[in-house]
Structure 1
Amino acid sequence: MRGVWTPDRIRAAEERLFEAVAEPVVMRRAANGVALHVRRLLGERAGGVAGRHVTLLVGAGNNGGDALWAGALLRGRGVGVTAVLLAPDRTHGEGLRALRAAGGRALAAEGSSGLTSEAVGALRRGDVVVDGVVGLSARGGLRPLAAEAVGHVGAPVVAVDLPSGVDPATGLVEGPAVSAEVTVTFGGLKPCHVLEEGAARSGRVRLVDIGLIPYLDEPDFTVLDPEDAGAAWPVPSPEDDKYSQGVLGVAAGSASFPGAAMLTAGGAVRTASGMVRYAGPAADAVRESWPEIVATGSVGDTGRVQAWAVGPGIGTGSNGREVLARVLEEARPVVADADAITLLARDAALWDARDPETPLVLTPHDGEFARLAGERPEDRVAAARETARRYGVLLLLKGNSTVVAAPDGRVLVHPSGHAWPATAGSGDVLTGMLGKLLAAGVEPLRACGCAVLVHARAAEIAATGSAEHGGRAPRVGGDEEGRAERTVGAPIGASALLAAVPAAIREVRAAATASVR
């Protein structure tokens, strides 16, 4: 599990670090990490470092200083280095002197009519470009000169700490911004690496230890890794039977929407052993698709369950309301999705049917969230955390970066790095998966994180046609190389995602096994 800290928390830790270690020493540690990952990227893309050229795009302050020091180190490995200075009068002095002493070249970016032709040539010539424009204090998109410079970059980019133009605290992009192949960050992950567009623009995030870790307190939120999900995933022991592993009740679908029932029930079946009971008007269709499911026509006839998954396709009329009320009255952990969220958002009396001590997980996308909260989320972490607290629920806010907030303030984030689950019915599969994990007794916040991670990986496996890395899925901040640049995917439907769930589970379980060897 990886911690994520806000920029303010990181800066406070840095101040404490600088009291113990001289700032230039810390800067050189950071620069060494940047230079290391530039060399690795040169090896990937150009076959080696000797005779290659790196261009540094340098802003004012320490972020630009890290880039300059990295350039000096690269010169020592035979790499040609040119620094394009966006603010020559405010460039980090020691870093610039170090680059020049190592034989690197520096030139001003701006001439009398904007970006100089010399700067354009340097930016186009680089085999790799290092983004050292702005750091954690930045807000808003790139300024015009920096935006013009980035527009001439065709080579892969290594970003120092974060891609310039991305909001460090939210991951939002409100103007021109850098898209990095690799982002080298220091001490701890920041929100921009895992949230919103910032997660995609960060590329592969590489975490470098500069001595900051002892000065960081508890993280603001966390990212679940594959081995965490694999370690928590329920599998049968020799003493288990079909009842001891958890029985999930599924209340989903209708005569008009039987597919919602089949996908939700299928997500449960393919997630864990044990038993699934279905209650609803699509019982015949569910039996035909999943003969191992015990299907009945109503919630009252279902029998004993350990948890419920309710909502997809039940409708928002009186029948759907009755189904949801009956499920809530059973005082079992509940995953409520789709129509169930709409019903809860518009009918306050339904909340009275719920036992407030029993876990309730709501799984809205942004539009459904707006029905609950009155507006679409901007700061997704803050919005999810506040809504979870207000309603006393676990709030799983779906998106490319899914945010899971518990009522006690704990937050998990999963940056999927792709959008393959953005297809009709994939949310139904997730509802069934999460419900089965709750029925099996997985702690609710951990169950949400596990389900989201495996669901996203299953979509990727289905879209790309293969399970890679021998069961070791890449993770934010890890050492594994990303797969996005090596695989080409095709759009999928929810049925393909569902079929890939077992392969994704095998991957995370293999990762858990490998991590303890």
Structure 2
Amino acid sequence: MLSVIGTIPDPDMPVFEGEARLEGDHIRVAGRSVSVNRGTAALLAAACQTVQVWGGHQVFAHLVGDTGLGQGSRELYAHLAAGISDCGNKKALVFHYLQPDADWCAKLMLRFEAKADRPLLIADAGFMYAAKMAGLAGIFDLFTPDMGELAFLADEKAPHPFYTRGFILHEGIQADELIKKAYAASNAPPYLLVKGNPDQIVHQGRIMGTVDSPSVPSMEAMGGTGDTVTGVVSALLALGVEPLRACLVAARTNRLAGEMADVNPASQIMEMVGKIPQALELALEEYSGNE
């Protein structure tokens, strides 16, 4: 089972958790309905579509409302810290949009570090920042950064994304240079799925594969496409797919879904989400030999 931990942009939503189900263009958790547009809701929708291909698997969600001020995130951090053992029966946990807080990240992650049977740990967005800020990137199994996020991981001196040094953000620096810097500074877990053009799959600092087709330029202008690829790869890992194959399949699935949906800059993310099962089946067949 996969657990997804994140926030939704509604300050009035308290902490709530339960099995997540995709119903139309909404995610339903513990009697509450959340519109799928981008962010954690888009990640959940993609994960639900992925496990549907297998059948009989669940996606669990731990959510709270937060519009970026951090109060909701702190409430969710505290809730998880008080009952983190409840996550122990999950195969994988993905931490998504949460206000970066190094102290809270350390409180959560150090409780996993000593567990012999800990789940796979995946981070994207704000929690990836928190893990790096806390010096705990190595506890995780997978980060899913875009190029801007990779630049922060590569900057060994930056305590916060706002302070990433300008030369590292310069477009002349290639992904492979940033990857080397991130691993040299111990700011990356064993696996990275670097979202970009192309998508690059990394293991221990070495680029093991790339995915560059189909090329769907309109996806760059859409909100939520990075969330969906993280949802697919997280679900695949929870289902027991080997990490390299999971990353390759997820990157390919996301691109195929965009092509199948014939997206344009005005498209909504649910148009892509609806194509994930079909795209996933094609990608799994294509990468059947990468076990």
Instruction: Name the TM-score class by shorter chain.
Output: 0.5 to 0.7
Q: Which amino acid aligns with 2:58?
A: M
Please identify the structure whose Cα radius of gyration is greater: 1
Task: Indicate whether 1:371 and 2:152 are aligned.
Answer: yes
> Which residue matches 1:387?
182
**Distance verdict in 2 for CA 1:256–1:265, change over 3 Å:** same
Distance in 1, matches of 2:44 and 2:273, equals: 10
Q: What is the CA-CA distance between 1:315 and the residue it aligns to?
A: 1.8
Contact 1:278–1:302 (Cα < 8 Å) also in 2? no
**Distance verdict in 2 for CA 1:427–1:328, change over 3 Å:** farther
1:92-491 aligned at under 5 Å gives the runs 247-254=1-8, 256=10, 260-272=39-51, 273=54, 274-281=57-64, 298=80, 300=84, 301-302=86-87, 304-311=89-96, 313-317=97-101, 321=105, 325=109, 329=113, 331-348=118-135, 350-351=136-137, 354=139, 360-374=141-155, 375-376=168-169, 378-384=173-179, 387-388=182-183, 390=186, 391-407=188-204, 409-416=206-213, 417-422=215-220, 423-463=222-262, 491=266
Contact 1:400–1:419 (Cα < 8 Å) also in 2? no
Q: What is the CA-CA distance between 1:383 and the residue it aligns to?
A: 3.3
Distance in 2, matches of 1:512 and 1:404, equals: 14
> Which residue matches 2:283?
508
What is the identity percentage for the equivalent residue pairs of Structure 1 and Structure 2? Answer: 22
1:79-98 aligned at under 5 Å gives the runs none
RMSD over equivalenced CA pairs, Å: 3.2
Contact 1:385–1:405 (Cα < 8 Å) also in 2? no
Q: Which amino acid aligns with 1:367?
A: G
**Distance verdict in 2 for CA 1:280–1:328, change over 3 Å:** farther
Distance in 2, matches of 1:327 and 1:420, equals: 41
**Distance verdict in 2 for CA 1:327–1:278, change over 3 Å:** farther
Q: TM-score of the superposition, structure 2-length normalised?
A: 0.65
Q: What is the CA-CA distance between 1:450 and the residue it aligns to?
A: 0.8
CA displacement 1:423-444 (0-9 Å, x = unmatched): 2122111111111111111111
Q: What is the CA-CA distance between 1:500 and the residue it aligns to?
A: 1.2
Distance in 2, matches of 1:371 and 1:503, equals: 35
Task: Indicate whether 1:492 and 2:267 are aligned.
Answer: yes
| Count of aligned pairs between the two proteins | 223
CA displacement 1:6-27 (0-9 Å, x = unmatched): xxxxxxxxxxxxxxxxxxxxxx
Distance in 2, matches of 1:345 and 1:382, equals: 18
Q: TM-score of the superposition, structure 1-length normalised?
A: 0.39
Distance in 2, matches of 1:433 and 1:327, equals: 26
Distance in 1, matches of 2:270 and 2:108, equals: 25
Where in structure 1 are there 5+ consecutive unaligned residues?
1-246, 283-296, 465-488
SS in 2 for 1:281: strand
Where in structure 2 are there 5+ consecutive unaligned residues?
12-33, 66-78, 156-167
SS in 1 for 2:46: helix
CA displacement 1:80-108 (0-9 Å, x = unmatched): xxxxxxxxxxxxxxxxxxxxxxxxxxxxx
> Which residue matches 1:141?
none
